[in-house]
């Protein structure tokens, strides 16, 4: 490869004959390349210990990227399922095809040939939920390894008149823990996409339109046992997913009877708070292109769209610096619609998003405007959003804080974020406020309304190795919450430190103080119960992630008024072979002595709750496109109440000291919660975009009763299902 070194600037070569994508670089000898890489970690700004050569060509159909990775260090290649990054030798490539310095397409290939793709947005955010069809192969020799990628122009959302793109390339050498980057920026610098180098010009690009049709068939056998009787059921269905790109800047997706959503059940959670648990989206249709719909206030939370989906459509289009998105989904009992517009230029982004949900008896809408500005060097960021909501028709609904929502009610909410994200001194100021009747929960997610929330943080950061550490950070944080009546909600002060050691362990510790506050959602009628202050210590330790045995976890302990709580969430990862991963995640939760409302007759009692769980994950990758995954989670919780208490029913604000002894039996409210979930998934991508899934799932809830009894996991009501899905991709 002849060498052409340009500091963070690369000129691609147009070719008339596409290279063979086999990982070998035999047909790249006449293509100019660059070795202009700089070490980013562990020695920021130093020369790389290994040489990396990069070359880029293109034609009317694809961009081709070749990476030559001579390597003296020991090679680490781990085979795993697609879209899973492991600590092995790998290459990452980011292409900012809009050259807006805020968004980019992300591609990875490991030395084992594992592919990962995703989207960068908002300059610093990365989502690997996006998937498309592209090709990449690796080849190994005694001197190292090499990779070739062919990325179709059709999926890159090209913009008219944009011939120069942003480019970043990273190489990880796992054995020595080194990261080398092509477009160098210091580790303590802010920004991500805004700091990319340039690649161009790309001349004469005229990619044709494309169409991907993916019909599928799905068969399902179900067995249910409710202890009184056992039933069996069989079902079959068919559907179609389609992606049509009539032009590079327009993507239209559609689905008829979209397929089942998960290959792994949702994490089981024992929720002792008054805030709804937010679960991740796992359905492929909703994941594609969802970066465009992300806003500071989460107006779109696609898990709200549940049940059987009859049809769905999504449009994503770009016209110069303006992106437009639209989403419509029809289910058996509702129609859901979202429209998004966003424009970017000169470091400034402005957008608008509107949602509407129409059910049989009511309708809910929201509309908001948002904006963000980032300084040219990526260090300073300011962003915000303002949203208005309205509910129409439907019966009155009382929210947990006592607010009654009626037809025609409107609300308003806003958020503002100001941050310095680069340099040795960093910080932020955040504010969010939502009126009493602000309501985006029909299609969005909000922890609560009726709140003012202010957060202030300051941080000292160092990426220069010192003593036993490679990287260090110290942070001081304070946050304050009030409801619209001025009542103190959860607030706190905290100091934390984190570091990466020279043996690549990650350490973190936090001390915090949570003053006493009032929970205006505990009773559900607007009355507020005081919760005690808490002095807490949190610790997190993760051992070297490159090893075949990795151990880590997080633990938290609080001293409370007349009680305490403790939570531990740990993991053990074992890689007995390069293609097998086993992970064990034990979980413990204990809380003692907090007065809690029992749900009736002004009754309270001190709660003693215990929860023990174990999650096991196994990934066995037989070949790059053939994977077997297993997931099992067992979780049990015992909740016991003691020391019965009561309050004056006329009190709207109830201090802890105002609770007085009562004469009822608090243990009457004891209970047990938990479940056993298991999923086994076989996935075979027998040709690009065409897959076969075989899935077994088991769900079991404990038998009724009180106390902590692990045997209940196998004695309660259960459901078993076997699913077979076959899809075939037609690409044109």
The domain that contains 184 carries what CATH number? Answer: 2.60.40.1190
Per run of 10 residues, the mean pLDDT along the chain (length 732 residues) is 54 92 92 93 94 95 96 94 91 94 93 94 86 92 95 86 93 96 92 92 84 89 90 91 84 77 48 65 74 91 81 86 91 91 89 93 93 90 97 88 92 97 95 96 91 97 92 97 95 97 96 95 91 95 96 95 91 96 96 91 92 94 94 90 93 93 93 86 91 91 64 81 91 82
Cα separation of 679 and 266, whole Å? 11
Closest CA to 393 of 426, 365, 432: 365
Q: Among residues 429, 449, 469, which one ends one of the domains?
A: 449
Terminal Cα distance for the chain, rounded: 34
Beta partners for residue 416, in sequence order:
384, 431
Is residue 288 domain-shared with residue 393, that is, in the same domain?
A: yes
Together in a domain, 145 and 32: yes
d(CA 641, CA 541): 34
> Pairing state of beta strands 528-531 and 653-654?
parallel
**Given this model, what pLDDT does residue 269 score?**
53
CA separation for the pair 430, 385 (Å, rounded): 12
Instruction: List Cβ neighbours of 167 (8 Å cut-off, separation of 6 or more).
Output: 10, 56, 93, 94, 95, 96, 182, 183, 196, 197, 198, 199
Q: Find how far residue 268's CA is from the centre of its chain.
A: 17
- From residue 277, how far is each of 266, 283, 294, 633 by CA, in Å? 11, 18, 19, 17
Please tell me the distance from the alpha carbon of residue 147 to that of residue 15, in angstroms, as a whole number.
18
- Co-location of 172 and 25 in the same domain: yes
CA angle 683, 686, 689 (to 5 degrees): 85
Same domain, 171 and 301: no
Domain span including residue 389: 275-449
Q: Residues 59, 205: contact at Cβ < 8 Å?
A: no
- 596 assigned to some structural domain: no
Half-sphere exposure (CA, 13 Å, Cβ side) for 731? Answer: 13
Residue-level pLDDT at 3: 37
Q: How far apart are the C-alpha atoms of 519 and 530, rounded to whole Å?
A: 6
- 255 within some domain: no
28 with 135, same domain: the answer is: yes
Retrieve residue 10's tokens. 């690369």
pLDDT for the residue numbered 282: 66
Burial status of residue 160 (CB atoms within 10 A of its CB: 0-12, 13-18, 19 or more): exposed
**411, β-bridge pairs:** 389
Q: How many CB atoms lie within 10 A of CB 354?
A: 16
Considering only the C-alpha atoms of the chain, give the largest distance between any 2 of them, rounded to a whole number of Å: 89
Here the tokens at position 377 are: 């060097």
Residues 285 and 193 in one domain: no
Question: Quick one: pLDDT at residue 307?
Answer: 67
Residues 172 and 292 in one domain: no
pLDDT score of 2? 38
Helix H, strand E, coil C: the string for 611-655 is: EEEEEEEEEEEEECCEEEEEEEEEEEEEEEEEEEEECCCCCCEEC
Per-residue pLDDT at 122: 84
Q: Do residues 307 and 330 touch, judged by C-beta distance below 8 A?
A: no
For the entire predicted model, the pTM comes to 0.87
Same domain? For 189 and 87 the reply is yes
**Looking at the domain assignment, is residue 379 inside a domain?**
yes
137 in any annotated domain: yes
- Strand ranges (E), 97-229: 104-110, 115-121, 125-127, 135-141, 144-152, 165-173, 178-181, 197-199, 210-225
Q: How far apart are CA 54 and CA 67, in angstroms?
A: 5
In a domain, 560, yes or no: no
- As for how many domains the chain has, the answer is 2
Look at residues 371, 359, 368, 360 and name the one whose alpha carbon lies nearest to residue 338.
368
Rounded CA-CA distance 546/544 in Å is 5
Are 194 and 297 in a shared domain?
no
* Domain-located, residue 122: yes
Rounded distance between C-alpha atoms, residue 657 and residue 98, angstroms:
61
Residue 131 lies in a domain: yes
DSSP code at position 3: B
* Partners of 197 in beta bridges: 167
Q: Give me 386's structure tokens.
A: 């303002």
Side-chain-side CA neighbours of residue 373 (13 Å): 5
Which of these, 497, 475, 479, lies nearest to 489 by C-alpha position? 479
**Residue that terminates a domain, selected from 449, 479, 497:** 449
Q: Mark whether 194 and 300 lie in a shared domain.
A: no
User: Is the separation of the CB atoms in 148 and 311 below 8 Å?
Assistant: no
Residues 192 and 300 in one domain: no
Whether residue 24 lies inside any domain: the answer is: yes
Which one, of 221, 40, 85, 37, lies nearest residue 724 by Cα?
Answer: 221
Q: Residue 480 CA to chain centroid, in angstroms?
A: 26
Handedness of CA 601, 602, 606, 611 (dihedral sign): positive
Last residue of a domain, one of 180, 199, 218: 199
Neighbours of 469 (CB within 10 A): 16
Residue whose pair of structure tokens reads 């608090």 in the numeric block: 666
């Amino acid at each position: 490869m002849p060498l052409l070194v340009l500091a963070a600037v690369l000129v691609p070569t147009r070719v008339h004959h596409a290279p063979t994508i086999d990982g070998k670089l035999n047909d790249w000898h006449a293509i100019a390349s660059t070795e202009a890489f700089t070490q980013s970690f562990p020695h920021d700004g130093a020369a790389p210990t290994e040489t990396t050569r990069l070359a880029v060509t293109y034609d009317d159909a694809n961009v081709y990227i070749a990476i030559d990775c001579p390597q003296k260090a020991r090679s680490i290649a781990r085979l795993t399922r697609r879209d899973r990054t492991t600590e092995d030798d790998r290459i990452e490539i980011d292409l900012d095809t809009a050259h807006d310095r805020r968004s980019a397409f992300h591609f990875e290939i490991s030395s084992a040939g594992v592919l990962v793709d995703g989207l960068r947005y908002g300059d610093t955010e990365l989502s690997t939920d996006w998937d498309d069809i592209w090709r990449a192969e690796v080849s190994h020799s005694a001197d190292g390894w090499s990779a070739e990628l062919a990325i179709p122009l059709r999926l890159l959302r090209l913009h008219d008149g944009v011939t120069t793109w942003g480019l970043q390339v990273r190489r990880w050498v796992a054995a020595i823990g080194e990261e080398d980057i092509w477009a160098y920026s210091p580790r303590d610098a802010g920004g991500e996409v805004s700091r990319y180098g340039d690649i161009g010009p790309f001349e004469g690009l005229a990619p044709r339109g494309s169409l991907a049709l993916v019909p599928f068939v799905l068969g399902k056998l179900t067995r249910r046992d409710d202890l009184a009787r056992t039933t069996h059921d069989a079902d079959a269905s068919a559907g179609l997913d389609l992606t049509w790109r009539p032009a590079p800047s327009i993507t239209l997706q559609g689905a008829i009877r979209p397929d089942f959503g998960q290959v792994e059940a949702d994490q089981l959670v024992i929720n002792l708070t008054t805030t709804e648990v937010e679960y991740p989206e796992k359905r492929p249709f909703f994941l594609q292109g969802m970066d465009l719909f992300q806003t500071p206030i989460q107006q779109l939370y696609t898990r709200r769209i549940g049940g059987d989906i009859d049809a769905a459509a999504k449009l994503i289009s770009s016209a110069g610096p303006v992106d437009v998105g639209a989403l419509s989904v029809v289910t058996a009992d509702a129609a859901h619609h979202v429209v998004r517009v966003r424009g970017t230029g000169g470091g400034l982004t402005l957008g608008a998003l509107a949602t509407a949900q129409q059910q049989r008896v009511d309708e809910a809408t929201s509309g908001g405007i948002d904006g963000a500005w980032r300084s040219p060097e990526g260090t300073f960021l300011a962003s915000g959003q303002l949203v208005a909501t309205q509910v129409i028709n439907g019966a009155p609904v009382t929210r947990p804080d006592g607010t009654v929502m009626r037809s025609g009610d409107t609300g308003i909410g806003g958020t503002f974020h100001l941050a310095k994200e680069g340099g040795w001194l960093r910080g932020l100021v955040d504010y969010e406020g939502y009126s009493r009747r602000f309501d985006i929960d029909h299609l969005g997610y909000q922890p609560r309304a009726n709140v003012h929330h202010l957060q202030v943080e300051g941080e000292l950061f160092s990426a220069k190795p010192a003593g036993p550490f490679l990287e260090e950070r110290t942070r001081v944080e304070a946050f304050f919450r009030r409801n619209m009546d001025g009542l103190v909600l959860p607030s706190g002060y905290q100091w934390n430190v984190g570091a990466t050691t020279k043996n690549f362990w990650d350490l973190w510790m936090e001390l915090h103080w949570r003053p006493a506050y009032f929970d205006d959602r505990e009773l559900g009628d607007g009355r507020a119960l005081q919760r005690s202050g808490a002095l807490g210590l949190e610790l997190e330790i993760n051992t070297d992630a490159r090893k075949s045995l990795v151990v880590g976890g997080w633990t938290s302990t609080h001293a409370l008024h007349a009680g305490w709580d403790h939570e531990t969430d740990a993991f053990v990862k074992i890689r007995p072979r390069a293609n097998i991963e086993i992970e064990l995640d034990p979980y413990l939760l204990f809380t003692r002595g907090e007065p809690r409302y029992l749900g009736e007759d002004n009754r309270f009692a001190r709660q003693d709750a215990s929860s023990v769980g174990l999650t096991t994950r196994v990934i066995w990758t037989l070949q790059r496109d053939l994977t077997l995954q297993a997931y099992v989670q067992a979780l049990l919780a015992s909740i016991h109440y003691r020391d019965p208490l009561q309050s004056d029913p006329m009190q709207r604000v109830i201090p802890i000291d105002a609770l007085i002894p009562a004469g009822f039996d608090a243990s009457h409210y004891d209970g047990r919660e938990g479940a056993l979930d298991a999923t086994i998934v076989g996935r075979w991508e027998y040709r690009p975009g065409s897959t076969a899934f075989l899935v077994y799932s088991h769900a079991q809830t404990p038998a009724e009763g009180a106390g902590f009894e692990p045997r209940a996991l196998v004695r309660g009501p259960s459901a078993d299902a076997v699913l077979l899905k076959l899809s075939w991709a037609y690409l044109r």
